[in-house]
Structure 1
Amino acid sequence: MNIGDLLAPERVCCLPDVSSKKRALEMLGEMLSSHLPRLTQGEIFDSLLARERLGSTGLGHGVAIPHGRLAGADEACAALLKLGKGVDYDAPDSEPVDILFALVVPTECTDEHLQILALLARMFSDPETLARLRSAKGPEDLLDLVHHWDTESPDSP
């Protein structure tokens, strides 16, 4: 699987200033709703927020993977948000989060959901990949980097 295939240019964004975790999740909900016509931004946001209430999706090292399963999703869909300044995210290492990769999958896609999350965790645990993502000049660079990691990384399947 190529993680980049879950993204589209309109669902990759660089924002210099987002005030909070809640606002970042709202932005991700907006980005994802553009590809999920049967779901509203509010439904997606509520799903991401409900998952956060179970425990933070912050991985550490400034990365979070908010995710949810929704009946109105026909396929797995993702959005990538890079912030200029990190937000408090209740991450296990207490570092602010500046890279958020949101994932929505259909309710019945439990195995696929877990496989994607495992792949994302592996990708975001690589310090070199994180450095490249943080130095990316814009959304196109971010999308290229995600595609490149998936196809060129010795750790990718």
Structure 2
Amino acid sequence: MLPANFLTPERISCGNEASSKKRVLEEIGKLLASSSAELTQEMVFDKLLERERLGSTGLGLGIGLPHARMAGVEQACGAFIQLSDGIDYDAIDGQPVDLVFGLLVPEQATEEHLQLLARLATMFSDPGFCDRIREARSAEAVLRAIPSDGENAASP
């Protein structure tokens, strides 16, 4: 369901203790920046914050999906943070967010950006999938919970 190498164990943090939206965006920025020597945490954080100012990326049901298109990004990449406690994220349903999936795509990749956002929104709309990644205690467990091509998010 997601491109190969889109999400790697190095870009997954389980049981993260970030206590604010800003801290989560900084952490996601750090994880995403690790995907390219061209990027810094500050560059990615600034882009994510710029996008967030247009409107919250809190989808509801405890899910945050910060995302940005960015120069210097050669291929789409993701990062995931599972928070130990939910935080105020200005989500559309007003509920605390405890699962945050960050997305970076190349600056000109508008169509790919929209397709990946749609795939991620579909995955996170499945309560069973969300339960599995909330229960995951390692990066490998998170990766196992993510559907591969041909599976849907409801598959065990």
If the TM-score is normalised by the length of the shorter chain, which range does it land in?
over 0.9
1:46 aligns with 2:46: yes
Provide the rounded CA distance (Å) in 2 between the counterparts of 1:133 and 1:4.
19
**1:78–1:104 contact (8 Å) kept in structure 2:** yes
Change (3 A) 1:137 1:106: same
Q: Which runs of 5+ in 2 are unaligned?
A: none
**Which aligned segments of 4 or more residues in structure 1 are displaced greater than 4 angstroms?**
none
Which string of whole-angstrom CA distances, capped at 9 and with x for unpartnered residues, describes residues 12-64 of structure 1?
A: 11134211000001001111111121111100000001111000000000001
Percent sequence identity over matched residues?
A: 50
Name the count of aligned residue pairs. 155
Equivalent position of 1:152 in the other structure? 151
Change (3 A) 1:81 1:151: farther
**CA RMSD, 1 decimal:** 1.8
Q: By how many angstroms is 1:2 displaced?
A: 2.2
Give the secondary-structure state (helix, strand or coil) at the position aligned to 1:152.
coil
Q: By how many angstroms is 1:138 displaced?
A: 1.6
**TM-score, structure 1 as length reference:** 0.92
**TM-score, structure 2 as length reference:** 0.93
Provide the rounded CA distance (Å) in 2 between the counterparts of 1:155 and 1:4.
20
**1:58–1:91 contact (8 Å) kept in structure 2:** yes
Give the secondary-structure state (helix, strand or coil) at the position aligned to 1:49.
helix
Equivalent position of 2:33 in the other structure? 33
Change (3 A) 1:4 1:43: same
Q: By how many angstroms is 1:4 displaced?
A: 6.3
Structure with more helix by fraction: 1
